[in-house]
Amino acid sequence: MTIMNRRRDAGFAGIGICIIILFTIFAPVVLAIIAGCIIGAFLVYAILLTTPAAYSDEEQEITEDEILFVYDDI
């Protein structure tokens, strides 16, 4: 091995060590964000399951106010 190859390999090793250190520091933060998103999505799903639908299958009657409102737009 020449001196240049050793320096290059030492540089790669230094970069690898820096990347490992950064992953060690920031991995808990990233995992906490991902877990928060998963928990938040589950809570939204649970809330949507428990809320009743805003519509009914029966025909709804149109009131006089709604008829006047429609004619005002025309």
Sign of the alpha-carbon torsion through 29, 32, 37, 40: negative
Sequence letter at residue 3 = I
Domain that holds residue 46: 26-51
Helix, strand, coil percentages (3-state) for the chain, rounded to 5, are 80, 0, 20
Residue 43 located in a structural domain: yes
* Burial (Cβ within 10 Å: 0-12, 13-18, ≥19) of residue 23: exposed
Count of the separate structural domains present in the chain: 1
pLDDT value at 40 more than 90: yes
pLDDT tens-digit map of 41-74: 999 999 888 887 666 555 666 666 666 665 555 5
pLDDT tens-digit map of 19-39: 999 889 989 998 999 999 999
E strand or H helix at 7, and its extent? Answer: helix 3-50
Residue 62 located in a structural domain: no
The pLDDT of residue 8 is 84
pTM: 0.46
Residue 40 located in a structural domain: yes
